[in-house]
Structure 1
Amino acid sequence: VDKTELVYRLANTDSVYFLSRPRRFGKSLLVSTLEAYFQGKKDLFKGLAMERLEKDWNVYPVFHIDFSLTKYTTLFDLQEQLNLFLLRCEKVYGAEKEEKTPAARLQGMIRRAYEQTGLPVVVLIDEYDAPLLDSNSNIPLQQELRNELRKFFSPLKGLGQYLRFLFITGISKFSQMSIFSELNSLKNISMRDDFSAICGITERELLDELRPDIERMALANGETYEAACAHLKRQYDGYHFSKHCEDIYNPFSLCNAFDAKEYKNFWFSTGTPTFLIDLLQETDFDVRQLEGVEATDEQFDAPTERVTSPIPVLYQSGYLTIKGYDPEFQVYRLAYPNGEVRKGFIESLLPAYLELPGQSSTFYVVSFIRDLRKGDIESCLERTRSFFASIPNDLENKTEKHY
């Protein structure tokens, strides 16, 4: 799937961007594409839109830091990651002994790269919020990590004359962590229509460019081509990241489904939403409202540390997506994006609210449906009685847990 026309537009329209997308949605691939483009690697874009659009192919100095490469359980983990990044770049552009702090080293490195090459510098920051998401359950550590990141990136504001392009990706919106609050020119393209399809696979791209994969999928599962298209749409489609965004398929699940020739919950199985379920319980949110809940722009921008609703976090994490927009009241309607997320999330919710007798939530539901289809009413009634008996007495009220 060729996204390079969008990449070219991104690289040549403005210079300082932030993009929020769920995990495993192609952010790192986008960053790698930008890196190759700014390094002038024309041969990698042969046959793509970028080859036609770009004429100069300048080779800019590129600094690329990926925060997803390690886990952050201590402040030292972050400091070590920053040091490794700086050492790698200093091998190319040198270092000054007066530069003691990570921020001073970053500032000096950018200036030297500019002076040595005569070209402005490109800075690519991938998954900036990985340290903060790793420390969700340890607020004091999270505050330390946030302060360390803020100090490290603080010189960027005063280095505009040396920068060609600055691009930051993450799951949480930048305003939630206040790390880049000093970058007044930072443009958040996370919910813009013109860049809504820069990550993920659109339905048009799926049908036009991946038809052979769909045909192989259909053959492996004894389906027609049309049935396979419908199955893929039901299972993996449904993401929208702006008011007028076309349908976006989950790229991780789609590619894994084509590889395995099966319709499994590939994306959901790579991460348990424990933090989100805890947040739902802490805020006593009525989980019945997740399908069709409404939200405003202000809610999406609420700082995580002062969150009163789990909805923005569920949206940014990919468990809810935009399904409609009311321009009169400027309200978004959200819901589960597709069958994979709906099934996986509900199955994850059940153990948190119920004590199912000796079975996993998935097996319990499957057994109930099988009994119902066989016409085994007695077993259905017994499972229903067991289900209601599993609800603790202290939840028999009008709270969200009870329902």
Structure 2
Amino acid sequence: MNFLYQIFIQLFCFGYWLSSFFSEKAKKGWQGRREQKKIIKALEKEEFIWMHCSSVGEFEQGRPVLEAIKKKYPKCKIALSFFSPSGFELRKNYPKADLVFYLPLDTRANVADLLENFNPKILILVKYDYWINLLKDLKIRKIPVVVISAIFRENQYKNQIFANYFFKALKNYITHFFVQHEKSAQILESYGISDFSVVGDTRFDRVQQIASQKIEIQWLEKFKGLKKILVLGSTWHSDEEVFLNFLRRKLPTDWKAVIVPHEINQQNISHFKEIFGEKVSFYSKNINPETEILVVDALGFLSQIYAYADTAYVGGGFNKSGVHNTLEPAVFGLPTMIGPRHEKFNEVQLLIKNQVVFPIENEQEFEGIFQFIQAQNPDDFKRRSKEVFNQNLGATLKILDFLEENKLL
């Protein structure tokens, strides 16, 4: 099975290189990895606390742990790696990290080159992104690897032979798992893995931290005026099919809408002007407070924009990858609509169960749930959301205590 994995990695590298000719995102990732080799080779075996995140969402999940470590050990050096260009580009200047880099593609040669001069004391993986050659080499070098906010699902891997190989590798190479819930722990146990702790999801700690540091957004306050705000965050074209017609024809006169697309480029943004005409204005241009709809074509605002909202829609739920971060609006007590693909996310199931998040499947359900939400007492949503958070805060402290007690930091 290991032989097949090596073949897979070579094919994956070839496919990644090939896609760099057609995809701007893949091109950034391929070129970024080539350019950083000189930086890695110039390192002089300084010891780092290393955190790896697949992309932006995983960084936000790992951020409270990373910052808790930096606060407790201010002199330690922090290394932060990403697989995705979107994560790297957004956080390449993150001030609490001494080194930010792309995780090399998982060939044996790439891993050897990385660890020749890069000297991590520990690797903290956020949620997933298990690369077997890297994990094996870290094990040989006696560098511990822990996984935070890990989550596993039944029937996650349809091929049982691969599942056995995968979990055997995790058992051999991962020092400890910090899992989100008991079900994940049971799955690990079924594969003979006992080095785990059930601590919850660090994203609850992160979004609570964001909410406690509310930042005034004057341009949004001016746009909102005395009206209510519907925020549609991290949206894709597949999400827009269920709400664009509603915003164009049925948005109540005492409401305005703020759209924050997941991907921001000229092609992705220009169609909003075609659809809404004079009703829409854009953050990157002059914001007209008289318009009904505002498109925020810039990064870094969404989590704080939710603080000004009265209702939210979180995108991604019509894509294969699934819904984006519902905790960001939930921490403000917002009733939130999402698409149908949400089963992989434990926090979403908690919020659905507590009637804070509402799945929809089409335009008619979007309108119906919106009307239902407006007929409810907003304080009920805030109370139920607060109950969910109170039951799930504290994962960061539990992880830090474990790492210190076991002398992993």
TM-score by length of 1: 0.35
**Max radius of gyration: which structure?**
1
Higher RCO, Cα 8 Å, sep 6+: 1
Q: Select the structure that is richer in helix.
A: 1
